[in-house]
Chains A and B, each alone.
Chain A
């Protein structure tokens, strides 16, 4: 466990030492602030439901920028040899990197709790629905990071890693738009695979086991595939 923490700390430190992380942080928070005030001004509701929907859409663009370097950079700079010849299992390497970026992402989400403080100050929102919305958006971000980690393990080129993440994330996000072309079981499978279906429940205050299982199984699947990917070293 201490080695996973050491790896996560190293990842977190390198996130903060890279200008990209600060650009993402500033861009994300600026966009969220703009949308937060626009949505509150238009809806006049003491709720963050629509804000969470916007956050989800923004994460599709921004999370691949955070994750694209995770393995690609190690491969292109040769530091992967340092990690993979140290007494670390491949699972430790994957988890260390994952938790490092997840911590960065969690800090970002933590900053946005200021929105709750603002609406709480001016009105009387339902704290449970906002809390469930935050749980949902955090789980969604954690899933997106796992996808980004996986695509980063496929290539030594960071741009290609980001593009592959975009492809998968857009597919998962817009999948629910294609339900009209299918019927029966196919329709419900496609609906269940789409990330939008699951976040909607969280953002209106409903936490169901099915939604939690969706995100957790997605995260675990991606982490297992990442481990297999670095084990096979096909990128060599």
Chain B
């Protein structure tokens, strides 16, 4: 479904992504993890054609994201970290507008609108202005616009950020329901969510992919070395703890040098 090969992205002298390569199979829900600033959003923006990569190649369903950019966009649904909503529009008008610009056939627009309103439980707020909605509803409107054109690949950047526990469960259920219809790439900082819905985990650190494994295998492999079963959160922390230890050692050595001198 998605093949990324040696994708690099530089902002001036800063390497946001450094030779990132991975594959995602059709129908997978993939959890995309990493600390703030690790490169998650940059990679998602490249996959959705919003940003060009400095080098490397990405193919989605056989199409190159640079050469076939407009074709690719029909196949992708994207929810950025901040839902891209027009506050002065009603939910219904916004989704109609999304359907129009995302090439939903005229005779299917009404049907698709009704479908996403039902799927995202937005029917009772469809005539409300987006500015008046709660954060949870806004997030659902954001997901509705991302799936209104029946994309094959759904890319969600922290879809549960800032939501209360009930809203989180509603959004997760909505994402889980997408499993049979499309491939999902989902980034979040709440690792329990990944454990609930993902089959595969991609972990990125300082612009490099450090983990690319099925979730069950990742937890099993780690558990073999430990006496007690691990959670994804512990795996994540252990990967970043190693980095912290290295940094601390580097600092200690540098500090010692200065002291001796």
Residues of A within 8 A of B (CB): 2-3, 6-7, 10, 13-14, 17-18, 77-89, 233, 236
- Among B70, B74, B78, B98, which residue has its beta carbon within 8 angstroms of that of A81? B78
Contacts known (A3-B100, A84-B50, A86-B102); A14 close to B80, Cβ less than 8 A: no
Within 8 A of A (CB), among B105-158: 145
B6 at the interface (CB under 8 A from A): no
Query: Which of B87, B97, B101 has the most A CB atoms < 10 Å from its CB?
Result: B101
A18 in contact with B70 given A2-B100, A81-B78, A86-B102 (CB within 8 Å): no
Cross-chain contact A87 with B70 (CB below 8 angstroms): yes
Do A3 and B82 form a contact, CB below 8 Å, given A81-B50, A85-B48, A87-B74?
A: no
Write the nearest CB–CB distance from A94 to chain B, whole angstroms.
Answer: 14
Residue of A nearest to B78 (CB): A85
Min distance, Cβ B75 to any Cβ of chain A, angstroms: 9
User: In the complex, how many angstroms separate the beta carbon of B71 from the nearest chain A beta carbon?
Assistant: 8
**Contact A82 B74, CB 8 Å, known A3-B101, A87-B103:** no
Task: Convert B69-110 into 0s and 1s, putting 1 for each residue whose CB lies closer than 8 angstroms to a CB of A.
Answer: 011011010101010111111000100011011110000000
B51 proximal to A (CB < 8 A) = yes
A85-B49, A85-B73, A233-B51 given as contacts; is B101 within 8 A of A79 (CB)?
no
CB <8 Å contact, B51 and A78: no
Chain A residue contacts of B78, Cβ below 8 A: 81, 85
Cα(A79)–Cα(B141), bound, Å:
13
Q: Across the interface, which residues of A come within 8 angstroms of B101, CB to CB?
A: 3, 6-7, 83, 86-88
Is A6 within 8 A of B97, CB to CB?
Answer: yes
Q: How far is the CB of A84 from chain B (nearest CB, A)?
A: 6
Report how many residues on chain B are interfacial, defined by Cβ distance under 8 Å.
27
Pick the contact of A10 from B49, B51, B82, B97 — CB < 8 Å? B97
Q: Which of B74, B84, B93, B145 contacts A78 (CB 8 A)?
A: B84
* A–B complex contacts, Cβ < 8 Å, 5 sampled: A2-B100, A17-B89, A77-B87, A81-B48, A82-B84
Given A78-B82, A79-B84, A85-B50, 18 extra CB contacts under 8 A? A3-B100, A7-B101, A10-B86, A14-B86, A14-B89, A78-B84, A81-B48, A81-B78, A82-B84, A82-B98, A86-B98, A87-B70, A87-B74, A87-B102, A87-B103, A88-B70, A88-B73, A233-B51
| B residues adjacent to A (C-beta < 8 A) | 45, 48-51, 70-71, 73-74, 76, 78, 80, 82, 84-89, 93, 97-98, 100-103, 145
At the interface, is chain A mostly helix, strand, loop or mixed? helix
Contact of B88 among A17, A78, A83 (CB under 8 A): A17
9 cross-chain pairs, A with B, having the tightest CB-CB distances, nearest first: A82-B84, A6-B100, A87-B73, A17-B88, A79-B84, A85-B48, A78-B82, A81-B80, A86-B101
Q: Chain A nearest CB: distance from B68 CB in Å?
A: 11
Given contacts A85-B48, A89-B70, contact A79 B100 (CB under 8 A): no
Docked-complex contact A85 and B100, CB < 8 angstroms? no
Contacts of A17 in B (CB 8 A): 88-89
Quote the shortest CB–CB distance from B173 to chain A (angstroms): 24
Q: What is the CB-to-nearest-CB distance from B146 to chain A, in angstroms, rounded to a whole number?
A: 9
Chain A proximity of B52: nearest CB distance (Å) = 9
